[in-house]
Amino acid sequence: MDATESVLRVRDLRVTFGTRERVEIVHGLDLDVAPGEVVAIVGESGSGKSVTALSVIGLLPDGARATGSVQLHGRELLGLTPRELRHVRGAEIALISQDPVASLNPVFTIGFQVVEAVRAHDRSLSTRAARRRAIELLELVDIPDPARRMKQYPHELSGGQCQRVGIAMALASDPQLLIADEPTTALDVTVQAEVLDVLSRLGRREGRAILLITHDMGVVADLADRVVVMRHGALVEEGATRSVLLSPSAGYTRQLLDAVPRIGSRGPAAAPAAAPAVLEIDDLVVTYGNRLRGTFRAVDGVSLRVQQGEILGLVGESGSGKSTIGRAVIGAAPVREGRILVEGVDLSTASRSQRRKTRRRVGVVFQNPALSLNPRYTARQSIEEPLHSITGLRGRALSERVDELLESVGLADRADRYPHELSGGQKQRVAIARGLSLDPALLIADEPTSALDVSVQAQVLEVFRELQSRLRFACVFISHDLAVIDELCDSVMVLREGRVVEAGSRTQVLERPEDLYTRRLLAAAPVPDPDAQQVRRAERLALLGTD
């Protein structure tokens, strides 16, 4: 492919970081993206895929330097002044970021932000014309009732709707190249499928070039025409998506694909053994809102039971109530009706001291380890803090317990590292060790692997599985990744709009679902097989037509 055929043409790209001693992060990368083509860059964290994208758009951090050639329709971008780059960004190249909520300003309406994006590239437009264009953009990305949505704030939209607004803003200047950096990581499977449909239409039907950065092989199978596999800053394999995913030539690519969990690969679920109930929830109702704005039921009459040694998977779309249930158990969400019992203690009637004592038996692992760890604490200090403050352990006894926990998650040699010195998977393992530090009877794990690439996710799940098998704690595992649920859980509960629609063993729910909503979730879950993706896409569309 020559320069005149490519929207983006990268040759011998090398990126170095550092001031005194420079370290090369990207090693001589070549890359082309044609009009109407979606090219995916995949690889583990630290592979250089995001650094490559930042080099293209001229947003490398201070101290970083890119050499080689990056051409947009034959125009060299490396070496442009900051002012020249500002004219390229947004106007000719647009970025769709990973976090749809963080990319929008919470204090301004959706309409104000999209109109500003439109006028930023054409100040000659009147406010009325810019508003018309903003509504057209929202329609283009399938925002329902766009005129009404223009008046709303980001917190009034779902995550998928916020991401589609972000895409609309990226399209405001009709850019030639879209760079989508992990655009679906924070989304549940059905919303992810909707966003992928939008990106597919923008690429294939409207002829826009798209550079997709992702660690999700299912997303690659669904959206990409070609795949570039990177490892340690170097190109490992490149080719048509079908060829790379179904017949990879590189061992590293095969390792990435082998690490992807697949529904049904674990075999049938074993019959549950009788064990005491650790968590019992009866007719739980959690409401939000007030008399002025009205209230809604985030959780509406949910009952469940988790016994010792059992992992219950809670699944459902954003807003289904799964995380709210976890927050209610740890006392972070208001319970309006119903009972929550932990080891037989009813938290609604227990005294304050009883509740405090009981909740010490509940550990928590959150979604984002970077936010849940204090950046000023080493791995050792992060685990020491709850142990010392709650149990009073100190001295040698405290040190030995922390050493034991670090050893259990494979981080004995990382005890004195700070969060910024740890990989995403290592940070999450510190968070797991901290969650288990008080020897909990129950662990609430809220999306603990969603931000991790596939190989790191596999490592964390293996650590989690080994610890749970050995320590026999009960666990509520919250996730939108159905394959991860199948890989790890014994039983599954499917939630929709705060209510239970289906529950049972993982084999029953995930392989023989009875409810139409469960079948839709399964059809929307991407798999790393382009042929299977076509079948699943057709099935999903057919199921949507049954409403």
* 12 Rama sector, left if φ>0, alpha if ψ -120 to 50, beta otherwise: left
Cα(313)–Cα(211) distance, integer angstroms: 34
What is the CATH code for 273-361+440-515?
A: 3.40.50.300
Cα(41)–Cα(107) distance, integer angstroms: 34
Residue 354: predicted pLDDT:
92
Domain spans, the chain: 273-361+440-515, 375-439
Count each helix (H run) and each strand (E run) in the chain, helices first. 21, 20
- Asked if 15 and 2 touch (Cβ cutoff 8 Å), the reply is no
How, if at all, do strands 491-496 and 311-315 pair?
parallel
| Identity of residue 342 | V
Cβ-based neighbours of 277, under 8 Å, separated by 6 or more: 305, 306, 307, 308, 341, 344
Q: Which residue has the tokens 């919470």?
A: 106
Residue 292: predicted pLDDT:
65
Find, among 364, 362, 344, the residue nearest to 442 by Cα.
362
Find, among 278, 279, 321, the residue nearest to 296 by Cα.
321
- Asked if 143 and 165 touch (Cβ cutoff 8 Å), the reply is yes
Helix (H) or strand (E) holding 50: helix 49-57
pTM (whole model) above 0.95: no
Q: Which residue has the tokens 């650094």?
A: 51
Residue 376: predicted pLDDT:
93
Q: Give the pair of three-digit tokens for residue 461.
A: 């799940």
Q: What is the pLDDT along the chain (547 residues), one digit of tens a residue?
A: 555 589 999 999 999 987 677 889 999 999 999 999 999 999 987 788 989 999 999 988 888 899 999 999 999 999 899 889 988 887 899 888 776 667 789 999 999 999 999 998 788 889 899 999 999 999 888 788 899 889 998 888 766 788 888 888 988 888 889 999 888 876 778 778 888 888 888 877 778 899 999 888 888 998 899 999 999 999 999 999 999 999 999 999 999 999 888 888 777 766 668 889 999 999 999 998 766 666 778 899 999 999 999 999 999 987 788 989 999 999 988 899 999 999 999 998 999 999 888 988 999 998 777 777 899 999 999 999 988 888 888 899 999 999 999 988 888 888 999 888 887 778 888 988 899 888 899 999 988 887 778 888 888 888 888 889 888 999 999 998 899 999 999 999 999 989 999 999 999 999 999 999 999 999 888 888 888 888 887 887 787 766 5
Residue 271: predicted pLDDT:
67
